[in-house]
């Protein structure tokens, strides 16, 4: 019994450690990042909706390279807010699941020089997925235009 309590306690402490090192992005920063994640069951019914502009494992340098590349791939509008111009880049990630499990974070990553690199991680309490569920994450990036 004591072992079970200790393991549960250690599991609860792990996510809290990541929260303390989180980066809050705000409009006007070099890069503002906002992510919306939704899970739908096999019938298309919304099961979970999460959103945040606060991230752990925030790699601003690698993210800037990623956005420079992404900006060349599509039509990314430039908007004006309080007489300052910003480029808006939106990208969607989708995934379907064929097994059960737990998703405890939403991660944006890139392959830099053949190495998996986390650009930003939205750490959350998690949600249980079932076969047939689908996940959609919409990442919005806003950066000043000089």
| Separation between Cα atoms, residue 13 and residue 20, nearest integer Å | 11
* Residue whose tokens read 């405890």: 104
Q: Give the per-residue pLDDT at 29.
A: 79
Q: Is the pLDDT of residue 20 over 60?
A: no
Q: Give the per-residue pLDDT at 3.
A: 43
Q: Give the per-residue pLDDT at 103.
A: 84
Alpha helices in the chain (DSSP H): 2-20, 60-71
Q: Give the per-residue pLDDT at 125.
A: 80
Query: Quick one: tokens of 17?
Result: 């450690």
> How large is the average pLDDT for residues 110-116?
88
Check: CB of residue 32 under 8 Å from CB of residue 143: yes
Q: Give the per-residue pLDDT at 10.
A: 34
Per-residue pLDDT tens over the stretch 118-140:
999 988 888 889 999 999 999 99
| Separation between Cα atoms, residue 70 and residue 90, nearest integer Å | 9
Strand runs (DSSP E) across 28-83, as ranges?
A: 32-40, 46-52, 54-55, 78-81
Check: CB of residue 145 under 8 Å from CB of residue 71: no
Quick one: which of 76, 75, 81, 18 has its CA closest to 52? Answer: 18
Residue 64 backbone phi and psi in degrees, to 5: -65, -45
**Domain definitions of the chain by residue range:** 2-144
Q: Give the per-residue pLDDT at 66.
A: 92
Q: Give the per-residue pLDDT at 104.
A: 81
């Amino acid at each position: 019994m004591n072992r079970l309590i200790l393991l549960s306690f250690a599991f609860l402490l792990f996510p809290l450690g990541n929260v303390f090192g989180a980066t809050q992005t705000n409009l006007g920063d070099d890069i503002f990042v906002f992510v919306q994640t939704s899970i739908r069951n096999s019938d298309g019914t919304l099961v979970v909706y999460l959103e945040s502009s606060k991230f752990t494992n925030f790699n601003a340098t690698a993210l800037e390279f990623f956005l420079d590349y992404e900006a060349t791939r599509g039509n990314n509008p430039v908007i004006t807010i309080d007489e300052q111009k910003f480029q808006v880049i939106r990208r969607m990630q989708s995934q379907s699941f064929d097994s059960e499990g737990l998703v405890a974070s939403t991660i944006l990553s890139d392959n830099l020089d053949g190495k998996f690199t986390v650009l930003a991680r939205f750490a959350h309490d998690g949600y249980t997925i079932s076969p047939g569920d689908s996940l959609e994450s919409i990442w919005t990036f806003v950066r000043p235009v000089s």
